[in-house]
Structure 1
Amino acid sequence: MKTVVITGTSKGIGLETALAFGREGYRVFATMREPDCAEALKEQIEKEALDISICRMDVDSDESVQQGFDEIWRELDHIDVLVNNAGIEVHGSVEETDIWKFKVVMETNYFGCLRCIKAVLPKMRERGSGCIINVASVAGRIANSPLGPYNATKFALEAISEALAQEVKPYNIRVAIVEPGIIDTKMARNIIRSGGSLYPQVNRFGGLFAASLRNPTEASIVAENILEIANSNSWQLRYPVGPDATPFLEWRASMTDEEWISFNAAKDKDWYDAVENLFGLTARPEVSKVKPRKRKIHKEETTGNS
């Protein structure tokens, strides 16, 4: 039986990923900070009789990660797949965001992944097989205000994943980076409430997320892609996921750095007009309840991973 450890499984992408692997017949260890908050996952495990164990693990803590994996290793002699999904979101302008918030989000989204990677690598290397899937984001390839604090962590995760992939390929260990676009999660909906800043980018960015989430992409889509990667034999490194992921990446790649900065530094009216013209998304807060026009990003433009 194949085995998988997944972090951050109390809700959203992590919860759906645990269920997807369980339904596929994996022995699943679903980790989270507070197992008492996992009622939705527990209900599905019981309802579907899935082989999923819920484990306590705080990826911010060396001790918690060590204890968590010690318990897992007592039940297993190998781990086939590690899915680093645990993550938090902090947004705001660089000037207005406290330093401690930058540290908190980096601790979870970057160092948390490193702790788990280092916990599984020795045995994967000795066994000569394994798969490490790191859930990053389109925000790990495209930096824009007010996601600077979050962007920094996902850029860092992308970089270390690329370096790691080079190191472990000779040991038959695959590394994959999953890059979701705007997915309907609690984290994404928190961004909708952005505002109250000296900087216009912070105040208007929530409108872009609100407009996109009127036609939401469910977290289960990301989970299905993660499972597909685990079951494949592909050495592909990056996997954009969702109908907007690849188009956003291609749009950014079509601009110079200076053009990208100018676009996001534009006045509100110009920025809202550009978003509507480019993507058919009405992001203006005063019309947030208006039925959106059909997007100009079409499904067939995305990769087969969406």
Structure 2
Amino acid sequence: MKSVIITGTSKGIGLDTALAFGRAGYRFFATMRKPENADEFRKKIKDEGLPITISALDVDSDESVGSCIGAIVRENGPVDVLINNAGIEHHGSIEETSMAGFKSVMETNYFGVLRCVKAVLPQMRQDCKGCIINVASVAGKIACTPLGPYSATKFALEAMSEALAQEVKPFNVRVAIVEPGIIDTQMANNIGYGGDSIYPQVNRFGGLFKASLQTPTSAALVADKMLEIAESGTWQLRHPVGPDAEPFLGWRASMNDQEWTDWNAASDEDWYNAVQNTFGFNAREVKQAI
């Protein structure tokens, strides 16, 4: 039975991924910062008889990552698949976001992934087998205010993953980047309006998310993609996921940098009209309803 470690399984994509792999028969190690809050998850594991073990792991901590992954390997043998899913969201304008805010989101979304990769890679390289799946985002390819702090971490994750894939392919270790679009998770629903920001984009962008989430895309879709990557043996690096992921990426690719900057710097009226014409989302109505 192949073994899988995933970070960030308390809710959303991580939780659905744990269940998908467990139901597929993988020996699955679901990690999270606070396992004491996982009573419903434990009940589901017990009721379905799933081969899932819940462990405490804080990706922000060298000691926690080393201790948790080290114990799993000692007690159960080498890890076949590592899924780096743990992440946090921080949005706001560049000027108004504190340095602490920038550092905290980078610590989890980028350095947290590096810690976990470094913990499993020596064994994977030695065994000449393994798969590392890093959950990035469409926001790792497209930078929109007010997601600058979050996008910076996902851009960094994309770059690191691309370099890593080149390094480990000769050792038969696969690297995949999963790029979800707007998925119905707590994180996506938290992207709302920024209150008294001096930058209008910080407020209006929440309308695009809220409008998109009126026809939600389940986190299970991302989970199914990661199971497919693990089982297929694919060497494809990037995997956009969700009905809006590839359209978003294509939309950005259709504009040069100046056009992209101008579109996002446009007046509220022009921006809302462009959103409706491009995506069919009436962000104004959504904003009024919140």
Q: Secondary structure at the match of 1:217?
A: coil
Q: CA deviation at 1:37?
A: 1.3
Does 2:93 align with 1:65? no
C-alpha separation between the residues in 2 aligned to 1:8 and 1:137? 15
Cα deviation per residue 1:24-46 (whole Å; 9 max; x = unaligned)?
00000000000011123112101
Question: Per-residue CA shift, 1:103-154, capped at 9, x if unaligned?
Answer: 0000000000000000000100111100000000000000010000000000
1:206 deviates by 0.7
Match of 1:124 in 2: 124
| 1:264 paired residue number | 264
Q: TM-score, normalised by structure 2?
A: 0.98
Report what 1:190 is aligned to. Answer: 190
CA contact (8 A) 1:194 1:205 kept: no
Q: 1: CA distance between counterparts of 2:83 and 2:258?
A: 36
Q: Which residue of structure 2 lines up, in the alignment, with residue 8 of structure 1?
A: 8
Aligned to 2:111: 111
Match in the other structure for 1:17 = 17
Deviation at 1:287, TM superposition (A): 6.2
Q: Which residue of 2 aligns with 1:149?
A: 149
C-alpha separation in 2, matches of 1:70 and 1:82: 13
Asked if 1 retains the 8 angstrom alpha-carbon contact of 2:91 and 2:149, the reply is yes
Deviations 1:166-220 (A, max 9, x none): 0000000000000000000000011024432110000101100000000000111
| Secondary structure of the corresponding residue to residue 25 of structure 1 | coil
Structure 2 Cα separation of the partners of residues 125 and 289 of structure 1: 53
**Matched position secondary structure for 1:73:** helix
Match of 1:138 in 2: 138
User: Would the alpha carbon gap of residues 160 and 285 (structure 1) be closer, same or farther in structure 2, given more than 3 Å must change?
Assistant: same
Q: Which AA in structure 2 matches 1:210?
A: K
The question of whether the paired residues in 2 share the 8 Å contact of 1:207 and 1:288 is answered with no
Q: Partner of 1:8: helix, strand, or coil?
A: coil
Post-superposition CA distance 1:92-111 (Å, at most 9, x none): 00000000000000000000
Tell me if the contact between 2:193 and 2:206 (Cα under 8 Å) persists in the aligned partners.
yes
User: What is the CA–CA distance in structure 2 between the aligned matches of 1:9 and 1:40, rounded to whole Å?
Assistant: 12
Amino acid at match of 1:242: G
Q: Could you say which residue in structure 2 is the equivalent of 1:277?
A: 277
Q: Identity of paired residues, percent?
A: 67
Contact 2:207 2:287 in 1 (8 A): no
Aligned pairs (5 A) from 1:157-236: 157-236=157-236
Q: Matched residues in 2 for 1:59 and 1:88: separation? A: 11
CA distance 1:230–1:268, shift in 2 (3 Å): same
Relative to the length of structure 1, the TM-score reads 0.93
- The amino acid of 2:160's aligned partner reads I
Letter in 2 for 1:94: I
**Contact between 2:207 and 2:286, CA under 8 Å: does it hold in 1?**
no
**Partner residue in 1 for 2:102:** 102
- Distance across 2 between alignment mates of 1:61 and 1:113: 11
Matched letter for residue 72 of structure 2: I
Asked whether the 8 Å contact 2:189–2:209 carries over to 1, the reply is: yes
> Are positions 1:238 and 2:238 aligned together?
yes
Q: What is the SS of the residue equivalent to 1:87?
A: coil
Specify the code of the residue in structure 1 equivalent to 2:252. R
**Does the CA-based 8 Å contact 1:176-1:239 persist in structure 2?**
yes
The number of equivalent residue pairs is 290
For 1:287 and 1:131, the matched residues in 2 are separated by: 42
CA deviation string 1:231-271 (max 9, x = no partner): 01110000000000000000000100000000000000100
Q: Which amino acid is 1:41 matched to?
A: F
Distance in 2 (CA, whole Å) between partners of 1:39 and 1:191 is: 27
* Contact 2:211–2:286 (Cα < 8 Å) also in 1: no
For residues 90 and 49 of structure 2, the distance between their equivalents in structure 1, rounded to whole angstroms, comes to: 36
Partner amino acid, structure 2, of 1:124: M
SS in 1 for 2:283: coil
Quick one: distance in 2 between partners of 1:239 and 1:2?
22
Return 5+ residue gaps in structure 1 as ranges.
291-306
Shift of 1:74: 2.1
In the TM superposition, what is the alpha-carbon distance from 1:288 to its structure 2 partner? 5.1
2:85 and 2:135 in contact (8 A); partners too: yes
Query: What residue is the counterpart of 1:85 in the other structure?
Result: 85
